[in-house]
Amino acid sequence: MHVKQIVIRKAAELNSKLASLSLADPDLLLLFGSVSHMAEPGLSDTLRAAFPKARQLGCSTAGEITSDGVDDGSCTITAVKFANTRILAASTQLTGMADSFGAGERIGRQLAAVDLKTVLIFGPGVNINGSALVDGLTSIIGNTVPITGGLAGDGGAFKQTFTLGQEGISEHGVVAIGLCGNALSFGHGSFGGWEPFGPARKVTRCEGNVLYELDGEPALDIYKRYLGEHAQGLPASGLLFPFAMLGEDHNAIGLIRTILGIDETSGSLTLAGEINVNGYLKLMHASTDKLVNGAEAAAEAAKSLLEAPGESLAILVSCVGRKLVMGTRVDEEVEAVAEIFGSKAILTGFYSYGEISPFTPGTSCKLHNQTMTITYLGEV
């Protein structure tokens, strides 16, 4: 496996910098860029003209990640050449939030293979039920194949996101690759660092990922009371105060849900994934130090699973809510990950509206919010 990377800050740099990737003869071009770069006319066509055999995969972001730290307004392209790993590509158009499970099923049918080792998937960051997307995918390929990835961002605007696949750049596309073969070495890790506060509130009315009532009151009214002056910045300010999902026994189940939208008329909150209709929710907050420790724990978990002796690639998908909490210290979580992986690993990734990863090895894949999830790839 061979990995090379370029970072583009101005669209005019694309052609000249692509030339430096030509020696890699890549099988995969992994791209994470700001909305302005993703909306640039001809981006996908330029990549295809330069590398007609390479699969294209990526999405828009709320911040771009490399080994040097965190950028805003850039575009990172990572070229990967595999020695003995086969790539399957899949894509579908999401017709609306209610189509999320069906979109996952369609992706699964395109990727189903006897030697499928892992799936990397990216979806739109708005008008999607991320947990239903994952459930649809696992309903086809099963729970034993690890799935990682995330939902696209648009710098915290929550208006228009993009994905990149073999069909080009799309506002409504769900894109994925399946990696096949015994040469692939794969590790993953996912960790948060948030802490719950306040009372547990009973979910008294919800539909899928739309929360209407807590303790019999409109969910938006309760949420605004907790946020106080921060409520004026909704839905973006909701990234600072996600929900911990609790079971019927009030114990945490390890999932966090971020707010993607609000509806003043119905008093509802749209979350990034589904809510347990019989469960409870509790607000959460975090500090920079705890979030950095969480990123470190995710990197340790991913590294412990990888057995590749040569070059490797670490794909970091971290929630935009973490970025807002850490502010000018956001580079610290990437630096902590880079220190654990060392110089042989190239880092890429983005700040997202939802992260996709198993909890731990051997467990089913879930949509997470407010976590740092890491996909670690190499070959043996």
pLDDT at residue 193, as a whole number: 86
- Whether residue 308 has pLDDT greater than 70: no
- Whether residue 307 has pLDDT greater than 70: no
Which residues make beta-bridge pairs with 174?
92
Q: Per the structure block, which two tokens stand in for 229? A: 């002056």
Q: What is the mean pLDDT of residues 59-68?
A: 96
Give the SS3 label for residue 375: strand
Beta-strand pair 312-319/345-352: parallel
DSSP string, 174-210: EEEEEEESTTEEEEEEEE---EEEEEEEEEEEEETTE
Q: What is the mean pLDDT of the chain?
A: 92
pLDDT at residue 373, as a whole number: 92
Q: What is the mean pLDDT of residues 317-346?
A: 92
* Residue count (the chain): 380
Q: Per the structure block, which two tokens stand in for 268? A: 């509802």
pLDDT at residue 164, as a whole number: 98
Q: What is the mean pLDDT of residues 210-217?
A: 96
Q: Per the structure block, which two tokens stand in for 291? A: 């979030």
What's the gap between Cα 217 and its chain centre? 32
d(CA 275, CA 148): 20
Beta-strand pair 210-214/195-207: antiparallel
Please name the helix (run of DSSP H) or strand (run of DSSP E) that holds residue 191, with its range, or none: strand 184-191
| 8 A C-beta contact, residue 162 and residue 172 | no
- Around Cβ 68, how many Cβ atoms within 10 Å? 12
More confident residue, 309 or 148: 148
Convert the pLDDT of each residue in 128-180 to its tens digit. Answer: 999 999 999 999 999 999 999 999 999 988 899 999 999 999 999 999 999 99
**Residue holding tokens 């309903």?**
139
- Whether residue 54 has pLDDT greater than 80: yes
| H-assigned helices in 166-246 | 219-227
| Distance linking the first and last C-alpha atoms of the chain | 9
Which residues make beta-bridge pairs with 246?
252, 280
- Whether residue 50 has pLDDT greater than 70: yes
CA atoms lying within 13 Å on the CB side of residue 288: 13
More confident residue, 49 or 240: 49
CA angle 353, 174, 71 (to 5 degrees): 40
Q: What pTM does this model have?
A: 0.89
Percent of the chain predicted with pLDDT > 90? 72
C-alpha gyration radius of the chain = 19
Q: Residue 240 carries which side chain, given as an amino acid letter?
A: L
| 8 A C-beta contact, residue 80 and residue 33 | no
pLDDT at residue 258, as a whole number: 87
Convert the pLDDT of each residue in 341-377 to its tens digit. Answer: 988 799 999 999 999 998 766 667 888 888 899 999 9
d(CA 178, CA 119): 4
Q: Per the structure block, which two tokens stand in for 219? A: 């969910």
d(CA 96, CA 252): 30
- Binned at pLDDT 50, 70 and 90, residue 23 comes out as low
pLDDT at residue 45, as a whole number: 96
- Whether residue 252 has pLDDT greater than 90: no
Domain spans, the chain: 2-191+289-379, 195-285
Q: What is the mean pLDDT of residues 85-102?
A: 97
Give CA separation, 354 vs 85, 185, 204, 258, 370, in Å: 27, 25, 24, 8, 7
Residues 6+ apart with CB under 8 A from 171: 124, 160, 161, 162
Give CA separation, 330 vs 253, 292, 295, 325, 333, in Å: 27, 9, 11, 8, 6
pLDDT at residue 65, as a whole number: 98
d(CA 281, CA 283): 7
Q: Per the structure block, which two tokens stand in for 276? A: 């347990």
| 8 A C-beta contact, residue 39 and residue 17 | no
More confident residue, 15 or 252: 15
- Whether residue 53 has pLDDT greater than 80: yes
- Binned at pLDDT 50, 70 and 90, residue 248 comes out as confident
pLDDT at residue 380, as a whole number: 85
DSSP letter for 309, please.
S
| H-assigned helices in the chain | 14-18, 35-38, 43-50, 100-111, 130-141, 219-227, 288-305, 320-326, 331-341
Q: What is the mean pLDDT of residues 200-219?
A: 96
